[in-house]
Homo-oligomer: A and B are copies of this chain.
Amino acid sequence: MVTIRDVAKQAGVSVATVSRVLNSTGYVSEDTRRKVIETIQLLKYSPNEVARSLYTRESRLIGLLLPDITNPFFPQLARGIEDEVHSQGFRLLFGNSDEDIKKEADYLHTFTQNHVVGMITATAISMKETYEQLPYPVVFLDRIAEQYPSVYADGREGGRMAAIEMIKRGSKQVTLLKGPLSVRPAQERFQGALDVLSESEVDFHVMNTTSFSFEDAKKWAKELFEKYPNTDGVIASNDIVATAILHEALKLGKSIPSDVQIIGFDDIPQSSLLFPALSTIRQPAYDMGREAAKLLLKYIKKEHIEERHIQLPVTFIERNTTRKVDSNG
């Protein structure tokens, strides 16, 4: 039987070098590596290490694809996921897709190549077929995907809530900001708010926005008060945009909330630290991440799945950009 010593001798290298090549540890020059592998093939050396590596190639890696980690909603989500997978002995391969179909395809390819055992995506834009072909389970996060396991907050209800609170607290000229078309959860919350506003007796404007970036939000905030100077209530597409609106309103000398009420969406950590602190619809980002990881790990471990779709509730967080409601109603 061919031994590792035979390989080393034939290749003219040390046993340690052969071992390093077999285990992919330490530095071995590309030439030496190639020579060792050729010798292994030549001598038909079948090391136990190679066989063993077939066992261990069952990795404990999980792919995580987010739109953009610099959007403050996502670190919470990522943290919830990491805490859960780490506690169960798994690790994360991580990428930002920028909602770009090429980057997404690229990461799907990488995840497969690196033998991930499962994947969580908060940014699926590819064809259904792409996900169907993956050789591992996928959980959709912050996205409703009927045919896939998914974890999401009740965005539509969140939008409804924002509009109801806004009307109840006396705004009569509401501006409703519609988030980017490509971001489905943003469309759901928009739709929820629209449902309520269109059935109400308040006047309202819909203003389109195309991103959640801080810089863009500043421009829209300016534009909003130029176009609709009588706005006395703003339902923002998320907290970043709400923050820019708040800033602009204060700059214009408006008093918050007596002149203008503002309601955000997400409850990112810094929203409570604004002055006045932002009233918003809270999505439980950390819990959403944690639930998605739990669900995926159940699939990976082939445990019993009770519910493939987990919808977490949203809540109205009353702070100081909305007026207090009289105890009389």
Contact = CB atoms under 8 A, between A and B. Distances in A.
Interface of A: 1, 21-22, 24-27, 33, 37, 40-41, 44-46, 48, 50-51, 53-55, 57-61, 64, 68-70, 72, 74-76, 78-79, 82, 86, 91-96, 103, 106-107, 110, 112, 114-115, 135, 214, 218, 240, 243-244, 246-247, 250-251, 269-270, 272-275, 277
Contacts of A82: 69, 94-96
A173 B232 CA distance: 41
Chain multiplicity (copies): 2
Contacts of A75: 69-70, 72, 74-75
A218 B114 CA distance: 43
Contacts of A1: 44
Nearest to A79: B70
B96 A93 contact: no
A91 B69 contact: no
Nearest to A103: B86
Contacts of A25: 112, 135
Contacts of A86: 95, 103, 106
Contacts of A214: 269-270, 272-273
A259 B21 CA distance: 67
Contacts of A218: 273
A61 B270 contact: no
Q: In this complex, which of A24, A93, A110, A114 has the most chain B Cβ atoms within 10 angstroms of its Cβ?
A: A24
